[in-house]
Amino acid sequence: QHHSGLQGKSQVFTADMLHYTSDRLALMAALRQAITDGQLVLYVQPQIDMQSRQVLAGEVFVRWRHPTKGLLAPAEFLQLAEEMGVIYPLTQWVLNEAVSMMATLKQAKLDCKIAVNISSKDLLHDELIDSLEQLFDKYQVKPQQMMLELQESALLANPPKAMSMLQRLHRLGVELALDDFGTGFSSLAYLRQLPVQHVKVDCSFINELHKSDMHSAITGAIIDMARNLSLGVIAEGVEEVEVEQKLLRMGCSRGQGFLYSRPFELGGFAVWLKQWQQNETKSP
């Protein structure tokens, strides 16, 4: 490893970085620019109570409207952003848009939370707590109306630090969910210590729930475990009615997926919500 003291900041040059092609480096420079130039956009997907048909939250997903490559999905730039240290400014942009939408929903008297995905790297920034507090204050919304979604891996890099950040977020009042649950290696003992209120069962188990005994066994085990730990369960990737019905029979009532809506531009969320409420609350 070679340490360089450029710009007064010590950076660690790792062997991994040798694999960065000039393409990827150019993409990173462009992403830094994209954040300030307004090329990022948020999409949103509703999370539904499949029993009552109420919309509980809208989860926001970042997209990059690249000037020449078109609309890029997170898979095409997020990991690189994490590795290159651009994720925190991106997260701050996302949070600002998300909290601004919370204010819009509040003004429209729509009771619906906003869920935001945050990266493991974000938990290394102490300022995250203050900047969230400032946003809630600026937009006059309650932290309880926000849910933060973290992946299990968020806890691996620096477990004590991640734990203390989660506790601070919890004290602030935001809801916390563990995303992509079942794909990592969380121990149940550890999960019990985390101040999270929900686990999200990964798409890969839910998609095939009605066709695969193994996937329904895993999902069933997660639902039972969550019940024993008093955690909520959210199923992601609900694409078919058979899956919805099976989840309800298994005791999971909260779902999200193409069956209800594909992700769409965040600007249209309030209108979508009003329409949904009109259609779904009509007496049958």
Residues engaged in binding Mg ion (CB under 5 A): 117, 149, 179-180
Nearer to ligand C2E, 20 or 61 (CB): 61
d(CA 223, CA 38): 40
User: What is the distance, to the nearest Å, from the Cα of residue 116 to the centroid of all Cα atoms in its chain?
Assistant: 4
Nearest to 105 by CA among 268, 249, 245: 268
d(CA 200, CA 256): 10
Contact pattern for ligand C2E over residues 127 through 146, marking x by CB under 6 A: --------------------
Nearer to ligand C2E, 26 or 71 (CB): 71
- Residues, the chain, total? 284
Residue 275's Cβ-count burial label (10 Å; 0-12, 13-18, 19+) is exposed
Among the residue ranges 116-124, 135-143, 213-221, 272-280, the one whose residues contact ligand C2E (CB under 6 A): 116-124
Interface residue with ligand C2E among 203, 218, 225, 250 (CB under 6 A) is 203
188 contact choice in ligand C2E, Mg ion, none (CB below 5 to 8 Å, kind-dependent): none
Report the nearest approach of Mg ion to the CB of residue 176 (Å).
12
239 contact choice in ligand C2E, Mg ion, none (CB below 5 to 8 Å, kind-dependent): ligand C2E
d(CA 155, CA 193): 12
61 contact choice in ligand C2E, Mg ion, none (CB below 5 to 8 Å, kind-dependent): ligand C2E
Report the nearest approach of ligand C2E to the CB of residue 169 (Å).
15
Closest residue by beta carbon to ligand C2E:
257
Interface residue with ligand C2E among 88, 147, 149, 254 (CB under 6 A) is 149
Residues 241-270 that bind ligand C2E (CB under 6 A): 257-258, 263
The DSSP code for 200 is: E
Please state whether beta strands 2-4 and 11-13 pair in parallel, antiparallel, or not at all (unpaired). antiparallel
Q: What is the DSSP string of 67-126?
A: TTTEEE-GGGTHHHHHHTT-HHHHHHHHHHHHHHHHHHHHHTT---EEEEE--GGGGG-T
Q: Decide: 180 and 151 in contact? Cβ < 8 Å.
A: yes
Residues that bind ligand C2E (CB under 6 A): 45, 61-62, 73-75, 78, 91, 94, 117-119, 149, 179-180, 203, 236-239, 257-258, 263
